[in-house]
Structure 1
Amino acid sequence: MTTTAPASATFLSMLKLRTAEVHEKYQTYDPPHMAAFGAELRDIGPALQCLAMAINHLSIKSHTAYPVHGALVQMLVETYMHVVVSGKQAEEVPAVFQAVHEHDIMRLDEPRKGYNGEQMWNIRLGQQTDGGGIRNRPSVLLSVSAYIAQTYSTNYAPEHMMQVYREYCDLNESIQNVAACVRLIHDRTNDVEPVEPPVTDAIAKVLNGLEGAASQAANLMPAFRRYHAADLRKHEAPRKGYNGEARWDV
């Protein structure tokens, strides 16, 4: 009977797939109004929490179920903490936005003489907008990011350590996919949306933090190969072929 040991290239990272879907969906979103864009700013933090939850779950399973070297688990936890810090920084963005755009938001949330009255101040004379509800509008970013947190939930049960290896290898790209969404928001504040510079600066801090997390995650693959060199060699260069190497299988 032929025994086939899968190579790492035959597996795809579940987190990379989920985050790539998020980026693909989000890069086509064009907020129709500042009320909608305000919701995107508000939910950067919760979206990053979804990413952090997935990484945390992977670290827990690596500690309790997967035969992964302890040093790698610690590196994964450090990457998780980088994302958590970025999420905390993102929580400051709505407060900055509210502070520097207090009057603008008031016109949407508490229109003087109702919307018909407030619209007399509109630049587009007499044109109806979909204003209002900055505090209550659902954000597209959070809606497309919600599934990230479930990536390694109870339904994820890798049968092979090469699958786990792929998650570690691609964590850098997974974080970069989410960072790309934040970068889209940042660039809109520079090029499209009528926001004040402090808002752009606040988002830039979040983006820098995420890029730091991605940089930290880039160290995982070489470390994994170093700590698990003998394990990986069995699959990448099996002695006497797969049938021969399989005689050592537990």
Structure 2
Amino acid sequence: MSWRLVLVAVVVLASGCVGLIGESPDGTSVRDDTSSPPGIDGGIANATTLVRAHQRSFAGTGVVVETSRARRSTVSGVGNQSTRTRTRASANGTLWQRRTVETIDGEQQAVLWHDGERGVRRFDDTGRTDTVNGPVGPTRRYQTADLRRWLATGEYGVVAVEAGEPTRYVLSATTYTPPDGDPLEADTVRYDARAVVTESGRVTGFTATLSTVERNKWGRQAWTASYTYRVVRTGSVAVPRPEWTGDVPPEVRDG
């Protein structure tokens, strides 16, 4: 299967504000800097180390995170799908999360509320509620599984350092490496991705799009996968308990 890739823009968030990185680092306030955020060594990012630093940067504070991912294809019979997730995590461990999945059949939404030890999840289309037992780790709490995976599929290097409070490091990658290490077999492959990272290793914004095109006996087949991650807010984040969380007795198990 052939693949083609295109990237859109970078979502930047700093000091509680959302912005956009331009098409190139030209014109940004770049300064000499001998230090680097955790997970960036010699100007190159290590996905696992960087994401761990990103998660640690939220210790003791509340945070609101939004992510989205989508897949699109011109191939007949292959369903397009997009998923949007908004997470509110308080400093005391309470979590609220809404996940919306959109397909050709319509939209489905599930909401999770978790107090740090036990949670309740509600599916809006059916009204079903399930309990979620056990603590929620930082990967789920800050929605970093896909972030780490995308950071691991390219060699992200520092292309600009923006002076300010905090200092922001702009990372960019244009070469895609599949998780299994094998090259993509496609007529055209385009990959472009950018991330904005603070001195503490916090990834405030990330955007990537992978597009491939294959020409075969069925014609031109195009595939696109995209992903975004942004920190909307940090600080005092309230996570109220929804009324419906009392509908499920403790003995009911998830699923």
TM-score by length of 2: 0.28
Determine which structure has the larger strand proportion and give its number.
2
Q: Give the structure with the larger helix fraction.
A: 1
In the superposition, the TM-score normalised over structure 1's length comes to 0.28
Task: Compare CA radii of gyration and give the structure with the larger one.
Answer: 1
